[in-house]
Structure 1
Amino acid sequence: MNSNDEKILDTYRSFLLLAEIAKEEPLSQRELSRRLGIALGLVNSYIKNLVAKGYIRVKNFPKNRYGYLLTPQGVTEKSRLAYQHLSYFTNLYTTARQDYVKLFRSLQAKGVEKIVFCGVDEVAEIAYLSLQGTGIELLFAMDDERAGDNFFGRPVVTVAKGLLAGHYRIVITSVKKGEMLRKRLLDLGVSDDALHSIGAA
């Protein structure tokens, strides 16, 4: 990842945190970490930074829970970042579409006929669209937070249940939680050569 990509990711994470905080729910840092797929220590670092810049303030709730509220400057910053990332997401869609098509064609050339997605978000939808016309069948998707949902007519199951279903090639289909999902799958015994993602096919 080059320094420009790191800067984009950094501001994107700030935007995601501000967007979650804008909902005005009493959220712990652990809950923010879970929702955004960002390591807990990193969430803490971002929050300290956003507080120091005057974009959010901390509010105490009963039972040692904390809430975070956007300040007027935080609302302005969230809007600014939203506009900034609009063009980024347009580029992300185009690039991700091309990268997934390339990945799926490569898997097809290796004789892969069935795959499983891991991570269900906007990027997973781009991956599914890119899969069409390749002849590879998507069996199901794995995502602990979306288990029980349907994804384009396929079931979404927990990671644990998905791994019990058999040994399939797994395509990581979340940019937000990609690194976390890869680490978890490797920790659960999935071999590195069974895992695929754009940028690391």
Structure 2
Amino acid sequence: MNIKYEKNIEIELKLLTTIEENKNISQRSISKEINVALGLTNSLVKKFVKKGFLKLKQAPMKRFLYYLTPQGLIEKSRLTQEYIKTSLTFFKRAKQDFEEIFKLIQKNKKQTICLIGTGEICEIAILVSNHLNVNIDCIFDEKFQKKFFYGIPIKNNLNLITSRKNSFFILCETNAINLNSKKFSDLNEIIFSPKFMMINRKKTK
């Protein structure tokens, strides 16, 4: 299973769940709720109506009410099971990738380790580092407002990190930074990324 397939399952499950919980909801509100483009929401609704998972009912003000059919409830149950299965598969894959990175770090005896980006993938990285007794010095995230993430200091200024000797980064969120920006292309530090992200970036050391 690939990441795109897993993401599609998550989006479809969120859409059906959102409609089940709130029948009087517009497609625009659905797209905001599940965090996808309005065009994709419209496409999925049409697909589910065609497959018999959803029914539409005309409402005032040129709106529609959405209902899950019995077939739709069965599909939601199937997607839930599939989502759990793919999530466990993803966790195992991410855990293995981070284990490889941290074991390489331990061999190189680097002094400063910084994760890039906060989120669920970062949580997995922290979990693996704790298991292997690897110390994470900080997390770089320009947009994160809090001072700590799972007890690890948040740094919003890249210069405060790169001023340290023997430091390098581990990418946890692809949308956290632009790896092609001058800010990062000028770094001497190594930026690692787990294999499941499928990012091919030349190491600078």
- Distance (whole Å) between structure 2 residues aligned to residue 85 and residue 150 of structure 1: 30
The partner residue of 1:194 within 187, 191, 195 is 191
Tell whether 2:104 aligns with 1:106.
Answer: yes
After the TM superposition, which residues 42-121 of structure 1 pair with which residues of structure 2 at under 5 Å, given as runs? 42-56=40-54, 69-72=66-69, 73-112=71-110, 113-121=112-120
Q: Kindly tell me: are residues 68 and 106 of structure 1, through their superposed partners in 2, closer, same or farther at Cα, counting changes over 3 Å?
A: farther
Q: Kindly tell me: are residues 103 and 57 of structure 1, through their superposed partners in 2, closer, same or farther at Cα, counting changes over 3 Å?
A: farther
- Distance (whole Å) between structure 2 residues aligned to residue 74 and residue 143 of structure 1: 41
Over aligned residue pairs, what C-alpha RMSD do you find?
A: 4.2
- Corresponding residue of 1:185: 178
Cα deviation code 1:87-118 (max 9, x no counterpart): 33233222221111112223444454221241
TM-score between the two structures when normalised by the length of structure 2: 0.62
Q: Which of structures 1 and 2 has the bigger CA Rg?
A: 2
The runs of 5 or more residues in structure 2 that have no matched partner are 200-205
Task: Report the 3-state secondary structure (helix = DSSP H, G, I; strand = E; otherwise coil) of the residue aligned with 2:119.
Answer: coil
Deviation of 1:75 (Å): 3.0
- Corresponding residue of 2:203: none
Q: Kindly tell me: are residues 136 and 164 of structure 1, through their superposed partners in 2, closer, same or farther at Cα, counting changes over 3 Å?
A: same
- Distance (whole Å) between structure 2 residues aligned to residue 170 and residue 40 of structure 1: 35
Task: Report the 3-state secondary structure (helix = DSSP H, G, I; strand = E; otherwise coil) of the residue aligned with 1:185.
Answer: coil
Q: Kindly tell me: are residues 29 and 134 of structure 1, through their superposed partners in 2, closer, same or farther at Cα, counting changes over 3 Å?
A: same
Letter in 2 for 1:197: P
- Corresponding residue of 1:173: 172
Task: Report the 3-state secondary structure (helix = DSSP H, G, I; strand = E; otherwise coil) of the residue aligned with 2:178.
Answer: helix
- Corresponding residue of 2:202: none
- Distance (whole Å) between structure 2 residues aligned to residue 187 and residue 69 of structure 1: 43
TM-score between the two structures when normalised by the length of structure 1: 0.63
Residues paired across the two proteins, number:
182
- Distance (whole Å) between structure 1 residues aligned to residue 149 and residue 58 of structure 2: 38
The partner residue of 2:31 within 29, 32, 51 is 29
Tell whether 2:126 aligns with 1:128.
Answer: yes
Tell whether 2:12 aligns with 1:14.
Answer: yes
Q: Give % identity.
A: 21
